[in-house]
A and B are shown apart, each in its own frame.
Chain A
Amino acid sequence: MLNLIRKDIVLQKNTLLILLPLLFLDSFLDGSRIYVGILFSIAIVMQSFATDEKPSVHYLMNSLPYTRKEIVSSKYAGACVFSFLVMLTILIGNLVVTKELVPWEQLLFIAGVVAVFISLAFPFSYLFKSQYLMIASIVLFVLYMIVVSKFIPDLNDRIREAVRTLLSLDHSLLYGGAVLSVILLYIFSWMLSVRIYSRKVF
């Protein structure tokens, strides 16, 4: 299993070498850490997923002494490693620039959103292909735009408001609940992907 995670890091070496320093530089700008963190995590995780999607790679991985369960599990564990690297970079970048630690709630929020995204994207990609994810998100985006323009014009503001309230809450129970549900979702998604992948014909 560790071998498979290490394999993903070896394969994404160039991506990491380009994106992580860029992320570090971003700390000097006054942008939104949360959006940038989410974007970078998802980009790296999905890049790593897409690299292994060719039929030839499925042949290779399944002919090596790994089980299908291990192959899927390594992707879920690897996603945590990549997100951790992104957050570590943000943390260090901020420490260097502002001499302050990033509030842990922000990091938790990044981790949560990335975990929810992966929980939805991985089973979808194992069932179809990650390239259709783009089409699926465009469809979702269009639906969102329709909702915004026709039904709830201030949806963007409401979401922003909700995020702000969520982050300003110091209700530990609420945090605990959110963390727990995200973890449960992640585990459920992992089990679902294992099932999908073990039946996959390539």
Chain B
Amino acid sequence: MENVIELNNVTKSFKGFELKDLSISVKKGFVTGFIGGNGVGKSTTIKLIMNLLRPDSGEVSLFGMNYREHEKEIKQRIGFVFDNNILYENITLSEMKRIIKPAYKNWDDTIFQHYVNLFELPLKKQIKTFSKGMLMKASLTFALSHHAELIIMDEPTSGLDPIFRRELLDILHDIMQDGEKTIFFSTHITTDLDRIADYITFIHNGQHIFTKEHYKIEEDYAIVKGETNLLDRDTEREFIGIRRSNYGFEALTMNRQRTQNIFGNTVILEKPTLEDIMLYTKKGNDNYVESYS
């Protein structure tokens, strides 16, 4: 299967933060959700993919091309949405269009008009008067108006009301229908991913934890509930993270079948949500750090 985005052993360090040996690939024709907590490197990764940052080492390639030689060709094929407003504030939407349109060879005025009508965006009002939702709609309109093959979005649903969040997901679902487009987006709101994501990429503390097909996650991972006396040094190793309470323990395993074989009927296995996975991975990592520091 063709990869649209490939990061190979990418390292980027800042003061107090580092992306370590990150290798991620995003498959063509699918929606990949990009999850992880605050400050674990999601935005940095997206900036590396957009060439807003350059890696200290490692390779970033899009559509099989690198930025060093094909920067403009790559960017022609990307539509982008950032979580904060990047449009000029003191001009109107139609003036903004006059600025962005000439940058793209495949700009399509009918699509632009279609989304402007759909989102009821005012063309003659200054962009600084737009609400957060309108700004997001405007950015999305620009991202979709030049037949981009890859749509990259950084937290597009944060700060949006639930109704527009659903509308947005429906629109994204619609544009995926021809099988030619690819969407890569980061989010905190993991329930959004249940609706549209085919793949989930999860990073934690600058490291790639997994990229899996969405349905596979429920097959592999499980929340395990049982009595605390089942836990000892050996059985604890089976889990990514453990939460103890007076009534027993709750833990996350990444090998449902194995856990089932070990504990049999003494524990209850439940389907985890993405939030469970994020939470226990963080817990597990923190414990690891604690016990070794």
List the interface of chain A (C-beta within 8 A of B).
3, 6-7, 10-11, 51, 56-60, 62-67, 201-202
Contact = CB atoms under 8 A, between A and B. Distances in A.
Nearest to A14: B90
Contacts of B95: 10
A59 B76 CA distance: 15
A107 to B, nearest CB: 31
B262 interface: no
B102 A66 contact: no
B85 interface: yes
Interface of B: 50-53, 71-73, 75-76, 78, 80, 82, 84-88, 90-91, 95, 98-100, 102-104
Give the dominant DSSP class at A's interface: helix
Contacts of B88: 11, 51, 57, 60
Given A10-B95, A63-B80, A65-B72, A57 B53 contact: no
B84 A56 contact: yes
Contacts of B86: 56-57, 59-60, 63
A65 B85 contact: no
Given A56-B84, A57-B86, A62-B50, A67 B72 contact: yes
B51 A62 contact: yes
A59 B99 contact: no
Nearest to B80: A63
Contacts of B85: 56
A10 B99 contact: yes
A106 B124 CA distance: 42
A56 B52 CA distance: 12
Contacts of B99: 3, 7, 10-11
B253 to A, nearest CB: 40
Q: Which of A3, A57, A65 has the most CB of B within 10 A?
A: A65
A3 B103 contact: yes
B102 A3 contact: yes
Contacts of A11: 88, 90-91, 99
B65 to A, nearest CB: 13
B103 A60 contact: no
Given A3-B99, A58-B52, 12 more contacts: A3-B102, A7-B99, A11-B99, A62-B51, A63-B52, A63-B78, A63-B82, A64-B75, A65-B75, A65-B103, A66-B75, A67-B72
Q: Which of B72, B85, B86, B90 has the most CB of A within 10 A?
A: B86
A10 B51 contact: no
Given A56-B86, A59-B86, A65 B52 contact: no
Contact of B82 (A10, A59, A65, A202): A59
B79 to A, nearest CB: 9
Given A10-B99, A56-B85, A65 B91 contact: no
B17 to A, nearest CB: 13
A57 B100 CA distance: 12
A63 B50 contact: yes
B103 A66 contact: yes
A51 B95 CA distance: 15
Given A59-B82, A59-B86, A60-B86, A202 B102 contact: no
Nearest to B51: A62
27 contacts: A3-B99, A3-B102, A3-B103, A6-B102, A10-B91, A10-B95, A10-B99, A11-B88, A51-B88, A56-B84, A56-B85, A56-B86, A57-B86, A57-B88, A58-B52, A60-B86, A60-B88, A62-B50, A63-B52, A63-B80, A64-B75, A64-B100, A64-B104, A65-B73, A66-B75, A201-B53, A202-B52
A59 B52 contact: yes
Nearest to A66: B103
A62 B84 CA distance: 15
Given A10-B91, A11-B88, A56-B84, A65 B76 contact: yes
Q: Which of B51, B53, B87, B103 has the most CB of A within 10 A?
A: B103
Nearest to A199: B54
Which 8 residue pairs of A and B lie closest in terms of their CB atoms, listed nearest first? Answer: A65-B75, A3-B102, A60-B86, A56-B86, A64-B103, A65-B72, A7-B99, A59-B86
Nearest to A3: B102
B125 to A, nearest CB: 16
Nearest to B52: A62
B214 to A, nearest CB: 28
Contacts of A56: 84-87
Contact of A66 (B72, B87, B90): B72
